[in-house]
Structures are given as structure tokens and as C-alpha cells.
């Protein structure tokens, strides 16, 4: 099982927004979910995407999306804007669970469940040198990045892993990781 955990430092935790970009950059959450869960003409049934939103008004909000259980979700931004607005407003959607699990608790739970944890960053062991099999959790930040204390916490349970010398958008990082796992 491959799982991705995005910490969104600014993502709104309420359904009161005009657009995903205006909602503390929930557009990044949408883009990352898209790269994590979809491939050409199918869902990735072996993938779960997590986003922990820490924006106003009531952080944290943990969103978990299961590729195996997700239904009625298209790949366009307008559809995801509606889905995110609905789930943040308390409505349900097939394959999506919303709760109040904080970032550090989620990492600890995955570690206790035996997951290999990779913290993505520009400095670290190359992903090409990693053993990419079994249950894996890949952690990354949004456009602001991971707070230092959360990154240090995650590194107590995992390994800093680099995708190369370039800095990539969060969604691109997920796409690159999926490529490496698919090749393994």
C-alpha cells in the first residue's frame, strides 16, 4: 500500500470559500489528490491520500481518500471544489473520511502499523536508492512547506528522501514517487 500525506498549512477547514485557490490553496490539495489517486482511465486502488488542513477556522481537519473506495469523482477542479466543499460542510462522499486527526498523530499511527516513512525534501537520500515496497507513507508539505517541528517529528519515524536537485510542485512530487514505485 502506498500512502501520501500532505500537510496544508493554510487550507481552509470550512466550506465557506469562493474558489479552491482562495481557500488557503485547497487547489494544491486537489492537485495532489489527483496525482496520488488517478492514472489514465482508472483509480489507483493501492493508494490512499491524506491531507491535514491547518487553516481557519477549526484546524486540524484530516481528509483521507481511498483510491479503492472512491466513487463519483471526476478529475476536473470544479468537481473537486464541490466535493471538498461538501465534505468540509459535514456531508459524506464515497471513499472519503474526514476527522480531526492531527499531523503528528497520523505519522505515529502509521509508524506503529509498520509503514516505512519517507519525508520528501530537497536534501536527503535519493529516492532511486530506496527500497520501495510494502506499506509506505510519503510525507510532503504544500507551497509553504512543512513546519520545522513537524518535519523533525516525522524524521524520528522516517527517512529524508530527495527527488533530485530541483524543487518541484507538491503534486509533481507525488507523480514522480508514483513513477518510481510503478517501476519497482
In order of 13, 120, 154, 157, 176, the CA distances from 150 in angstroms are: 19, 13, 6, 11, 23
pTM for the full predicted model = 0.96
**pLDDT-based confidence at 175, cuts 50/70/90?**
very high
Tally the domains of the chain.
1
Percentage with pLDDT > 90 across the chain: 91
Q: What angle do CA 79, 81, 86 make, to 5 degrees?
A: 100
Q: What pLDDT shows up at residue 42? A: 84
Q: What pLDDT shows up at residue 89? A: 97
CATH of the domain at 12: 3.40.1280.10
Backbone angles phi, psi at 77, to 5 degrees: -65, -35
Tens of pLDDT, residues 147-167: 999 999 999 999 999 999 888
56: domain range?
2-183
Backbone angles phi, psi at 36, to 5 degrees: -75, -40
Q: What pLDDT shows up at residue 41? A: 79
1, burial (CB in 10 Å: exposed 0-12, middle 13-18, buried 19+):
middle
Q: Roughly what angle, to the nearest 10 degrees, separates helices 103-112 and 148-155?
A: 10
Tens of pLDDT, residues 107-142: 999 999 999 999 999 889 999 999 999 999 999 999
Amino acid at each position: 500500500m502506498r500512502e501520501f500525506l500532505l500537510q496544508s498549512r493554510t487550507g481552509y477547514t470550512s466550506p465557506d470559500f469562493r474558489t479552491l485557490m482562495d481557500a488557503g490553496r485547497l487547489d494544491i490539495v486537489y492537485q495532489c489528490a489527483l496525482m496520488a489517486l488517478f492514472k489514465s482511465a482508472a483509480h489507483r486502488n493501492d493508494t490512499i491520500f491524506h491531507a491535514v488542513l491547518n487553516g481557519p477556522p477549526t484546524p486540524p481537519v484530516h481528509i483521507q481518500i481511498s483510491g479503492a473506495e472512491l466513487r463519483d469523482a471526476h478529475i476536473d477542479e470544479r468537481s473537486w471544489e464541490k466535493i471538498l466543499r461538501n465534505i468540509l460542510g459535514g456531508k459524506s462522499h464515497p471513499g472519503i473520511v474526514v476527522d480531526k486527526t492531527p499531523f503528528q498523530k497520523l505519522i505515529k499511527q502509521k509508524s506503529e502499523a509498520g509503514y516505512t516513512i519517507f519525508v520528501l525534501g530537497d536534501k536527503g537520500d535519493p529516492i532511486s536508492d530506496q527500497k520501495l515496497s510494502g506499506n509506505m507513507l510519503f510525507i510532503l508539505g504544500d507551497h509553504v512547506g512543512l513546519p520545522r517541528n513537524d518535519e523533525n517529528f516525522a524524521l524520528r519515524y522516517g527517512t529524508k528522501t530527495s527527488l533530485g536537485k530541483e524543487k518541484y510542485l507538491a503534486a509533481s512530487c507525488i507523480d514522480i514517487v508514483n513513477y518510481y514505485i510503478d517501476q519497482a
